[in-house]
Chains A and B, each alone.
Chain A
Amino acid sequence: MKTKFTVNGKGISVHFSPTDRLLDVLRNYGFTEVKEGCRDGECGACVVLLNGKLVNSCQVLAASAMDGNVVTVKGLAGDKAAPIQEAFVDAGAVQCGFCTPGMVLATYALLRENPEPDTGEIRRALDGNLCRCTGYVKIIQAVQLAAERTKHHE
């Protein structure tokens, strides 16, 4: 099958098999920052923004996302993007790093809707992203730090 995706702002023509997941297509076309951690929609390492919404790319069939607009961690733009990544590093929330791209995207999606989330809202927004290294303590602090740093931006 064939379609054109817009990934991180650039259009690409892709060929894929009818049972391929969006995750497969993205990784086959070099977007390896989108990770496969579980295949079940449990770990969140594969999340991307699809047409603006945070989704598990392992749970989206490529054929059901024709002409889709995809943003990976490398395509985050705007005033919120870099501060989130920096906040994760500054708060000590990065250990092995495998969950980090997904966490950054989930944080981006959260702060876009809710620039001043409370702890409960942060935990909920990240409930689809598993981390085994950090115990989540510093990840939650990173999101709070990112919110603090971006709330004065637009």
Chain B
Amino acid sequence: MEQLNWYYPENLNEAARLVKDGDKAPHSGGTALIRRGFRGIRSIVDLSRLPMNGIEVQGEKIEIGAMCSYSEIIHETGAVFPGHVLVQSLKNSASTPLRNRITAGGSVAAFPAWSDLIGPLLLLNAKVELMGRENGIFSLPEYLLRRELRAGSLITRILMKNYPHIGLHYRETRTQVDYPAFTVTVIAAPAGRNGVFQNLRIAVVGNRERFRRLTELETALNGKLFSHLDNLNIDNYFPVEFPDRKHGSGEYLKHAAEVALKDMLNLIAGGKS
């Protein structure tokens, strides 16, 4: 019989106090905890009563409360701009009922290899606001890379800077409803008349290092004419390796990622993929 204590903080200070010692697992209602199982967990801090499920999309500002579900993000962001990279990435994620439960905060905190959320957040230079052992605002890469930020702290909000963009998201799956082996997300400023890549940003998630901005490729293409893409060998700018997964070997996955990326860049350049 599992002995598990549940706590239901009603305000953020109380929640922060509970998670600070690192011996209580925060739970936002998503699937991470059930998938992981309860081994080694004695207490759970349920976040559903906290004021963290708002989402604000206004001008350059996007602020997502940690308890906001994928469905809510899709709905709210989509209402303002249907082509938004968050909509493109999340609308095919998981399944309809799962999107109603998976939360932004839960997804970032758990950061599974198949997350559809991390890529777009990286590209929008997302920051997470933490409370608990750590307090303050941290860049997403820093949060993902520094273990010590995760234990004992709660994500309360995810903040990012929005800008008009074309957003594209690719998930490597075997069926249309499947956990992706990896994702590739691309955003770029809408093309002006001169046909030049502007503000191009690319992220890969699910690789061996778990995530990577393809800054080399961004540098190679930003400011260049679209035609520059024709002679570019993506492989030279793709210092990313993948582990073997059930979808395919690491080698196959790398190949698939490069193909998908080329397709998306071609789409941005206005050509056919």
- Contact between B96 and A59 (Cβ–Cβ < 8 Å)? no
A64 contacts across to B, CB distance below 8 A: 27, 29, 46, 48
Within 8 A of B (CB), among A41-75: 41, 44, 47, 53-56, 58-61, 63-64, 66
- Contact between A59 and B6 (Cβ–Cβ < 8 Å)? no
Known contacts A19-B4, A44-B95; is-contact A54 B100 (Cβ 8 Å): yes
Within 8 A of A (CB), among B19-40: 27, 29, 31, 33-34, 38
A86 contacts across to B, CB distance below 8 A: none
B192 on the A face (CB < 8 A): no
B4 contacts across to A, CB distance below 8 A: 18-19, 63
- Contact between A61 and B2 (Cβ–Cβ < 8 Å)? no
Within 8 A of A (CB), among B133-177: 176-177
Question: In the complex, what residue of chain A is closest to B100 when comparing beta carbons?
Answer: A53
Interface core residue of B4, B34, B46 (most chain A CB under 10 Å): B34
Within 8 A of B (CB), among A6-43: 17-19, 21, 41
B8 contacts across to A, CB distance below 8 A: 66
Interface segment, one of A90-98, A120-128, A133-141, A146-154: A120-128
Interface of B is mostly: loop
Known contacts A61-B33, A127-B177, A128-B177; is-contact A55 B100 (Cβ 8 Å): yes
- Contact between B44 and A59 (Cβ–Cβ < 8 Å)? no
Pick from A1, A19, A47, A66: contact of B97, CB below 8 A: A47
Question: Per-position contact with A for B40-66: 1 when CB-CB < 8 Å, else 0?
Answer: 000010101000000000000000000
- Contact between A60 and B101 (Cβ–Cβ < 8 Å)? yes
A104 contacts across to B, CB distance below 8 A: none
Q: How many A-B residue pairs have CB under 8 A?
A: 70
A111 on the B face (CB < 8 A): no
B27 contacts across to A, CB distance below 8 A: 61, 64
Q: What is the minimal beta-carbon distance from B47 to any residue of chain A, in angstroms?
A: 9
Report the Cα distance A128→B38, complex, angstroms: 25
- Contact between B97 and A106 (Cβ–Cβ < 8 Å)? yes
Interface core residue of A44, A64, A125, A128 (most chain B CB under 10 Å): A64
Pick from B6, B38, B98: contact of A56, CB below 8 A: B98
B89 on the A face (CB < 8 A): no
Q: What is the minimal beta-carbon distance from B257 to any residue of chain A, in angstroms?
A: 24
Report the Cα distance A128→B70, complex, angstroms: 15
Known contacts A1-B6, A60-B101; is-contact A17 B96 (Cβ 8 Å): no
- Contact between A128 and B98 (Cβ–Cβ < 8 Å)? yes
Q: What is the minimal beta-carbon distance from A74 to any residue of chain B, in angstroms?
A: 18
Within 8 A of A (CB), among B94-128: 94-98, 100-101
- Contact between A128 and B34 (Cβ–Cβ < 8 Å)? no
Question: In the complex, what residue of chain A is closest to B34 when comparing beta carbons?
Answer: A59
A54 contacts across to B, CB distance below 8 A: 96-97, 100
Query: Nearest 4 CB-CB pairs, A to B?
Result: A128-B95, A18-B4, A19-B2, A53-B100
Known pairs A17-B2, A128-B97. 12 more at Cβ < 8 A? A18-B3, A18-B6, A41-B34, A41-B98, A54-B96, A56-B101, A59-B31, A60-B101, A61-B27, A61-B33, A64-B27, A127-B176
Give me 28 A-to-B residue pairs in the complex whose CB atoms sit less than 8 angstroms apart, sorted by A's number.
Answer: A1-B6, A17-B1, A18-B4, A18-B6, A18-B44, A19-B2, A19-B38, A41-B95, A41-B97, A47-B97, A53-B101, A54-B97, A54-B100, A55-B100, A56-B98, A59-B31, A61-B34, A63-B46, A64-B27, A64-B46, A66-B46, A125-B96, A126-B96, A127-B96, A127-B176, A128-B95, A128-B96, A128-B98
Residues of B participating in the A interface, judged by any CB pair closer than 8 Å: 1-6, 8, 27, 29, 31, 33-34, 38, 44, 46, 48, 69, 71, 94-98, 100-101, 176-177
